[in-house]
Structure 1
Amino acid sequence: MTLVIRRENEEAVRRRQAPFRAIEVVSLPWLDRIYEWFFRRIFKNDYRSQVLTAFNYVFCLAFEWCAWRQMRTRISAGDFDVVLRLLPISSVLPSPFAFFLHRGSVPFVIGPINGGLPWPASFSQADKQKEWISNIRNFYRFLPFARSTYRHATAIIAGSSQTYAEFATYREKLFFVPGENGINPSLHASGSRSSPLSDKLELIFVGGLVPYKACDLALRAAASLLRTGRASFTIVGDGPERASLDQLAKSLGIEKDVVFCGMLPHAEVMRRLGAADVLVFPSIHEFGGAVVFEALAMGAVPIVVDYGGPGDIIDSEVGFKVPLTSEADVVLQIDEILGKLARDPDILERLRQQGMRYARKRLSWNAKARLMSQILMWTVGQGPKPDLRPSCPRVLCSQNS
């Protein structure tokens, strides 16, 4: 495999010493300087900004145009069997490579792509977070290369059921591989506890303290159990909602049982997940949900809403997901689940073991790579078409399990 990257990513990629046949670097010094200035000064280093995604359009086209000029002679000479566009993940950022390649013999594959998750109605968290540009998202379909990207692609890999539905027109070449994240196998070694579950339920929330992560719903849902003294709650993460969440904990009378840890190194976050019983993560607008992958791997049973990435990953064999109906209903349902787990720790232990096994066998980077390989082999006519659809139960387990 030959990897084509921007100059700014070269050092990090080479440091990993991955077994690439070659690493091709595309240098755009003047464009990179413009992007860096806008990112720091205008977007305030906010990677979550939807406006930033739209702003990236010109820079992505410029990179791929230069990459094409740099690689087209070798592509035309047959040096490569397939071109895979892995990044960016956003489905609204097209690739001119599909247009450049469609008259030749080298197939073009894009994905996993994600995004386009509608903001749920009647949630105050959405009202706080939603950006104006989401109202005109579908305008991207009229941008140069937007339609040709998917029309000329040999295979499209969707990272969520929502994205799969958006591109259902191309179902004959569309594949569903949930989440653009994976689990590092090294996480599993520390995922088994040496001591049995205690009488006190250890709850954890991990994520940015921003409105759409809905940590406020998690606190409200856990409040009744926390007030009985049968649970404690650890909040890992920081953000603009920190002060209001701290005030909410006080108003609910649970401040003594809630610990705000702030930002922590990744290794420490994994340790905390490994010590927790339940991940309470009712995010209302989550595309991938890497923390859900990590919670499963480390033995924390996830409670999520059945919407977006987490809803695609969790089922009744490894955790809980509640319908995204209303704030009050989400709080009530999570409250009932926590009460049930506190009364019957055997349920928790069964889900924990099954979740760790599921993460180890089906959510690792190696498992994801096997699925991607099956898709790529099909595109070049060297393997059967894999059946990867949202309707398939446990889609990650459906191939060679």
Structure 2
Amino acid sequence: MRRSARNPIERALNLGGAVKILKVVDYFKPFWERGGTVRVPYEIALNLIQRGHVVTVYANGERADSPARVIQNRPVFVDGMTVYYFKTLSKRFTARTNIDLPYFAPFVVRKHLREFDIVHIHTYRRVLAVPVWHYARRFRIPYVVQAHGSLSTYFLKGGQKRLFDQLWGLKILREASKVIALTPEEAGQYRTMGVAADRIEVIPAGVDLGAFEELPPKGTFRSAYGIGGNERMVLYLGRIHRIKGLDLLVSAFAGLCNELKEVRLVIVGGDDGYLRTLEQMVKDLGIGDRVIFTGFLDGEIKLAAYVDADVYVLPSLYECFPTTVMEACAAGTPVIVTDACQMAPQIENRVGLVVPGQAERLQHAMKAILTDGEMRARMARNARAAVEELWSMSRYVDRIESVYRQVLEARDLPR
């Protein structure tokens, strides 16, 4: 028998008012260098709080490659929500394997999980999700899973992912009340992994337009990094990781340097295991004076980079629904992505260009945007409109909130 509301008044509160939500994430603020996997759940949580809901977050709490330091294994208050940052059992093991061991989490989960109306798991292939799944089943707390583009086992530690799926991952997915896909392609991946079609909701991600209402003055970033006003600026912003296709971008840019003299490539992001390889490649190609590595940036200077860029390029080998593409569009910057990005149909010839994963084709696309002012201006206008029409954070959270209510209503129906 399903868990029912404790009384009619509480049921009315849960379905029509404040909902007590637990969010389970990989990392959380201030681990911003982890990219969209931190930024997106944070923005969702913030919006839910603004709508009157009560949000608690469980997150891993330390990384060897991050300067962020947080209070661990006890609750802290962060921007209106309660957050537990869990310490890993062995920092060295986590750094070597990328497997967190939040040893204290099971005790907290067992003690507190019954306090929540619904659980939203944003990181189902992490150890932290396992005790949450276990006790959610035991205490009959409904949960929703959102993989954020991480379902594929073809790239990056595929064997490790498949082992986790066999042990826990497939059960976590298949027993969820609902799963959220960012794209129809991701919905197909869920189905392939055994999730029933009627449990899958396709909800494209969103970006907070409020952060882009007052942008830094044009020229701010160029002035800070010594880039001339007449130079064309190509921007990449994200983790410096092999899957991001940065070798393709550097190769294409080297070819572009033979065609355009006043052009610079700016690579913004923290190292995720690929920086040395990329720096050596830049050196070997003889374009060191044309390429700037800034490291991780956030806040105003990050916005300034978008504003000053003539084009934003994301050459990933695999990409679902990248936050950085939406951010570039919100800043009015045209984009180029590879056809491995699942957002490609919404981008092509409207806010930017889509190319196959070939250096020559990417080179031609960059040249086309950089040398055609009319095309660049048209795409810049369309970019902001596309965010408002397709990718607003408010609309995104509306639909997530609707999923919560569907799940809570189904939970309380008699069987």
Shift of 1:108: 3.9
- Could you state the TM-score of these two structures normalised by the residue count of structure 1? 0.68
Shift of 1:200: 4.5
After superposition, what is the alpha-carbon deviation per residue over 1:119-152, rounded to whole angstroms, capped at 9, x for unaligned? 46xxxxxxxxx43xx22523334435x4554444
Flag the 1:156–1:246 CA change in 2: closer, same or farther, 3 A.
closer
Check the 8 A contact 2:317/2:340 in 1, yes or no: yes
**Does residue 143 in structure 1 map to residue 149 in structure 2?**
no
Shift of 1:229: 1.1
Flag the 1:191–1:290 CA change in 2: closer, same or farther, 3 A.
farther
Flag the 1:9–1:376 CA change in 2: closer, same or farther, 3 A.
closer
Shift of 1:220: 1.2
Distance 1:90 1:313 in 2: 29
Flag the 1:338–1:148 CA change in 2: closer, same or farther, 3 A.
closer
Distance 1:213 1:308 in 2: 11
| 1:176 corresponds to | 202
**Does residue 218 in structure 1 map to residue 241 in structure 2?**
no
| 1:364 corresponds to | 392
Task: Return the match for 1:111 from 146, 150, 154.
Answer: 146
| Structure 1 residues 226-237: aligned runs within 5 Å | 226-227=257-258, 228-237=260-269
| 1:65 corresponds to | 110
**Does residue 166 in structure 1 map to residue 189 in structure 2?**
yes
Instruction: For structure 1, list consecutive stretches of 5 or more residues without a partner in the other structure.
Output: 121-129, 325-329, 383-401
| 2:232 corresponds to | 201
Shift of 1:278: 0.7
Check the 8 A contact 1:117/1:285 in 2, yes or no: no
Shift of 1:342: 3.2
Check the 8 A contact 1:277/1:299 in 2, yes or no: no
- Could you state the TM-score of these two structures normalised by the residue count of structure 2? 0.66
Check the 8 A contact 1:113/1:158 in 2, yes or no: yes
| 1:38 corresponds to | 90
Check the 8 A contact 1:61/1:96 in 2, yes or no: no
Task: Return the match for 1:52 from 98, 101, 109.
Answer: 98
| 2:15 corresponds to | none
After superposition, what is the alpha-carbon deviation per residue over 1:377-396, rounded to whole angstroms, capped at 9, x for unaligned? 444569xxxxxxxxxxxxxx
| Structure 1 residues 2-401: aligned runs within 5 Å | 2-4=20-22, 18-19=49-50, 20-22=52-54, 35-39=87-91, 41-44=92-95, 51-53=97-99, 55=100, 63-68=108-113, 70-71=114-115, 80=117, 83-88=118-123, 90=125, 93=129, 95-96=133-134, 99-100=137-138, 108-111=143-146, 113-119=148-154, 130-131=156-157, 134-143=158-167, 146-168=169-191, 169-179=195-205, 182-190=207-215, 200-227=231-258, 228-239=260-271, 240-308=273-341, 311=344, 314-324=347-357, 330-379=358-407
After superposition, what is the alpha-carbon deviation per residue over 1:153-182, rounded to whole angstroms, capped at 9, x for unaligned? 332112355542222242122112235x63
Q: What is the DSSP-based 3-state SS (H/G/I as helix, E as strand, rest coil) of the residue aligned with 1:233?
A: strand
Check the 8 A contact 1:192/1:298 in 2, yes or no: no
Distance 2:320 2:134 in 1: 24
Flag the 1:37–1:98 CA change in 2: closer, same or farther, 3 A.
closer
Distance 2:368 2:186 in 1: 34
After superposition, what is the alpha-carbon deviation per residue over 1:312-335, rounded to whole angstroms, capped at 9, x for unaligned? 7644322222234xxxxx211111
Distance 1:37 1:91 in 2: 14
Check the 8 A contact 1:162/1:308 in 2, yes or no: no
| 2:35 corresponds to | none
Flag the 1:313–1:115 CA change in 2: closer, same or farther, 3 A.
farther
Flag the 1:64–1:323 CA change in 2: closer, same or farther, 3 A.
farther
Flag the 1:21–1:286 CA change in 2: closer, same or farther, 3 A.
closer
Q: What is the DSSP-based 3-state SS (H/G/I as helix, E as strand, rest coil) of the residue aligned with 2:297?
A: coil
Question: What's the Cα RMSD here?
Answer: 4.0
How many percent identity over aligned positions?
17
Check the 8 A contact 1:193/1:274 in 2, yes or no: yes
Flag the 1:154–1:271 CA change in 2: closer, same or farther, 3 A.
same
Distance 1:192 1:359 in 2: 21
Distance 1:296 1:100 in 2: 44
Distance 2:154 2:247 in 1: 17
Check the 8 A contact 1:301/1:318 in 2, yes or no: yes
Flag the 1:151–1:58 CA change in 2: closer, same or farther, 3 A.
farther
Distance 1:332 1:243 in 2: 24
